[in-house]
Amino acid sequence: MTALTFAARGLEVALAGRHVLGPLDLDVPRGSFIGILGPNGSGKTTLLRALAGTVDICAGTVLLEGEPLEQYSTAALAKARGVVPQTFSLDFSFTLGEMVAMGRYARDESYFPSARAGRLRSRRTKTSRPHGHEATDHPSVAAALEHTGLSDLADRLVTQLSGGERQRALIAQTLAQDTPTLLLDEPLNNLDLNHQLEVMQLLVRLQAEGRTLLVVLHDLNMAAQYCDRLLVLGDGRIMAQGGPSEILDPALVMDLFRVRVSVHREGRRPYVTPLWSRAAASLADSPRTGVHVMAGGGAARGLIEELVLQGLAPTVGIVSVFDTDFATGRQYELDVISSPPFEPFSAEAVRELRAATAAAAVVVIAPIFFGQGNLELLRVAAAAQAEGKKILIIDSPPIHERDASGGLAGDMLRELLESGATPFSSAAQAVEWLRYSSL
Amino acid sequence: MNRDRRKVYRIVIAALVGGLVVSTLVAAITGAAGLSVREAFAALLALFRDGAGAAGSFPEWAPRLLLDVRLPRIALALIGGAALATAGTSFQGAFRNPLADPYLLGVSAGAGLGATIAIVWKPLESLGIYGLPLLAFIGAALAAFLVYRLATFGGRTGTASLLLSGVAVGSTLTAIMSFLMVATERDLHTVIVWLMGGLGAASWMKVWITLPVVVGAFVFTWLNARRMNLLLMGEERARELGVDSQRTRRNLIIVASLTTAAAVSFTGLIGFIGLMVPHIMRLLVGPDHRRLLPASALFGAVLLLVADTVARSVLAPAEIPVGIITAVSGGPFFLYLLRTRRGL
């Protein structure tokens, strides 16, 4: 007996004469929870349909539980695997309960599937139920509605459901089918965050019951968070497969989606933050890209994030290696000029700062808490201003509330302002100015 | 809602069975033969007690009239109405389209052409009484497949393309039929009388031929009710859930064409029953074919019987073709559906 739910060898699929998938080999061990990732048009849905047996394979073989797919009858296949497609259309006014109960078709041979369940219940409750085929009587249907949070909506007409309810109805219909293997094509479509998490947790429970799950997902973090293994498709081929921490890597994501991301590996599962899209036009494309952020004590966190969102990759510094701003800069993989903690800035750090301001077009001074130790920042800023660099000062909270240098910092900031620096009351305003100024 | 539907279903079936009994009685005692209601009723009662040899307070010929003219006509109306309604429900399910019906899909035109060929092509007379229904069936089935093929692009069958190809195929077949009629003038009258639809020439023979076909077709269709429900979600989804979609759809179309042909070959082209009846029943009992099919068949039977009774009473002793009655009531109803399709 094989331990593989699916084994594909040399699988190739062509749709309307166009080659869209393969050739690829794939093993899906029983009980695994595999996330299928890849850009639009990479063949994810086609792979799922090929495994489900709903699309013709033009070369290769797919074994389901060791048996070639083509040896399954339609009915036998429906007992072996359930499919959640991306959408469905049902223009007739079935109730949600009736629609979910349709999933029992392959399982219940009797004409009125839940007639027996209905009779059992009516005997218990001593009520007469001559037609006893209420859709939701079957335990699997009731459980499917329960799992998807739809029990209260069972009598609602399908034609009156919201997008998210329709999506969950589709999942419930497939759950009612009660199959050991489930193939889901973007099951989180149209769902709000709450229901996305509920569905993913439901899938984890189904896996714990011993089911095999293949899920096409768009959200890399959902996939990393819940799936055991990830399968990355690009151009109809498998680009990578393995555990989430092996797979989610900035180079691969850039390669597939043309998006620069940072991957955080603090927790058990990696977490991906998109930085900027190479495809989208942004500040980063203009020649005046160079921005240096004078940071410290977490005062620059919001500013750094705003700049990164705008597609800029500012240099940051000087900050101590224990500083929150240091962590923020590193998180976005920026160049951060650092200095050892609890001592004056090192000569090397100051040299790097001068080089960074010289390379930048704009220097932004975050609302840092100033003391004798970091006045050097303002001296470098003054020097940069003298060289023609634009200086932006974020002065909220006002300097007198954060000046421990006996007024020296305040004086220096005033001098910068008198020489042409521009004050802002928030990071967002400064970034806005950067977007629209014709520097 | 669900509980309501079950209750409504029971009420609807009870009402339809009641309606069936009442309309049968009314049809039996109504007519142009100059028999009073009292006499007709007495003859009917006597007929049930003593068979054809009944005698009593009514003209001697009354039992014969009832037995040989009115009762087979009633039976044929009931069978024909049930057949058209079942076929309409089946077509709407198989085509996933609430606007599909034998008339609109060109199936009736196919049956009409088949019947015309049977009437005008003399060599076919050797087939006897079976010649016309056989050709009507072949015509109906071919027309259904032609329309289905023409409306399918890359595995998808759209509403608009379906109706358009139905209309196109239907009018082409009607044109060929008209040509045959003009080319063979001597049969013109027979063909026209057949086309206009009427139950005037009913006989027990016709009843015994159509009854098994229609009953068999209904049972087959009803056994496919769950598959039809799933097909409403599309072929691919139905396949995912375990239905052999293409085969089921093909079988349903064949059987519905057979049912249509069985009905129209003896009754002529009677429109709109197949469209209206499933719609009204769907509004009442919901779209689940397990309930929809029996309710539609019963309603279709009652409706055609009522229409036929009206057709032979309004201008008595002259008769209006029953197709005119169904079209007059069905046409406006179809327009109403087009305007308010949402939520069906």
- Split at pLDDT 50, 70, 90, the class of B97 is confident
Do the chains contact at A74 and B243, CB–CB below 8 Å? Answer: yes
Question: Among A73, A106, A112, whose Cβ lies nearest the Cβ of B241?
Answer: A106
Q: Is the pLDDT of residue A288 over 60?
A: no
Touching check for A98 and chain B: CB below 8 Å?
yes
**Average model confidence (pLDDT) for chain A?**
85
Residue with tokens 């096409």: A216
Touching check for B240 and chain A: CB below 8 Å?
yes
**Section B161-183 average pLDDT:** 86
Q: Can the peptide bond before residue A318 be classed as cis, meaning omega within 30 degrees of 0?
A: yes
Contact between B287 and B232 under an 8 Å Cβ cutoff? The reply is yes
Q: Is the pLDDT of residue A15 over 90?
A: no
Which is more confidently placed, B86 or B249?
A: B86
- Split at pLDDT 50, 70, 90, the class of A439 is low
Do the chains contact at A74 and B282, CB–CB below 8 Å? Answer: no
**Section A259-265 average pLDDT:** 77
What are the pLDDT digits (tens) for A95-137? Answer: 999 999 999 998 876 555 444 444 444 444 433 333 344 566 7
Q: What is the pLDDT of residue B15?
A: 96
B164 sits in which H/E element? helix B159-183
Distance (Å, whole) CA A154 – CA A136: 8
Contacts of A133 in chain B (CB under 8 A): 6, 290
Touching check for A72 and chain B: CB below 8 Å?
no
Q: What is the pLDDT of residue B292?
A: 94
What are the pLDDT digits (tens) for A133-186? Answer: 456 678 889 999 999 989 999 889 998 898 889 999 999 999 999 999 999 999
Contact between A86 and A186 under an 8 Å Cβ cutoff? The reply is yes
Contacts of A75 in chain B (CB under 8 A): 242, 244
Residue B158 identity (one-letter amino acid): G
Q: Is the pLDDT of residue A274 over 90?
A: no
Q: What is the pLDDT of residue A111?
A: 57
Q: Which of B223, B233, B236, B344 to mutate to test the interface with A (most CBs of A within 10 A)?
A: B233
Q: Is the pLDDT of residue A198 over 80?
A: yes
Contact between A337 and A315 under an 8 Å Cβ cutoff? The reply is yes
**Section B16-22 average pLDDT:** 95
Contacts of B2 in chain A (CB under 8 A): 95, 97-98, 134-136, 154-155
Q: What is the pLDDT of residue B206?
A: 85
Query: Per mean pLDDT, which range of A313-322, A391-400, B130-139, B248-257 is the poorest?
Result: B130-139
Query: Given its phi and psi angles, is residue A53 left (phi above 0), alpha (psi -120 to 50 degrees) or beta?
Result: left
**Section B112-127 average pLDDT:** 81
Which of A62, A80, A67 minimizes the C-alpha distance to A7?
A62
Contacts of A103 in chain B (CB under 8 A): 241
Q: How would you write B27-40 as a 3-class SS string?
A: HHHCCCCCCCHHHH
Strands A181-185 and A81-84: what pairing?
parallel
Phi, psi values for residue A97, rounded to 5°? -60, -45
- Does this model's pTM top 0.90? My answer is no
Q: What is the pLDDT of residue A134?
A: 58
Question: Among B223, B240, B344, whose Cβ lies nearest the Cβ of A54?
Answer: B240
What are the pLDDT digits (tens) for A342-369? Answer: 888 899 999 999 999 988 889 999 999 9
Which is more confidently placed, A220 or B65?
A: A220
**Section A256-275 average pLDDT:** 78
ipTM: 0.82
Q: What is the pLDDT of residue B16?
A: 96
Q: What is the pLDDT of residue A120?
A: 42
Structural domains of chain B, ranges and CATH numbers in brackets: 2-340 (1.10.3470.10)
Touching check for A88 and chain B: CB below 8 Å?
yes
Which is more confidently placed, B312 or A310?
A: B312
Q: Is the pLDDT of residue A279 over 50?
A: no
Distance (Å, whole) CA A315 – CA A304: 9
Residues B29-41 as b/e (b if ≥16 CB within 10 A, e otherwise) read: bbbebebeeebbe
Which of A158, A174, A176 minimizes the C-alpha distance to A166?
A158
Q: At what angle do helices A163-176 and A139-147 cross, to 10 degrees?
A: 140
Contact between A91 and B159 under an 8 Å Cβ cutoff? The reply is no
Question: Among A16, A94, A154, whose Cβ lies nearest the Cβ of B154?
Answer: A16
**Section A295-309 average pLDDT:** 86
Q: What is the pLDDT of residue B324?
A: 82
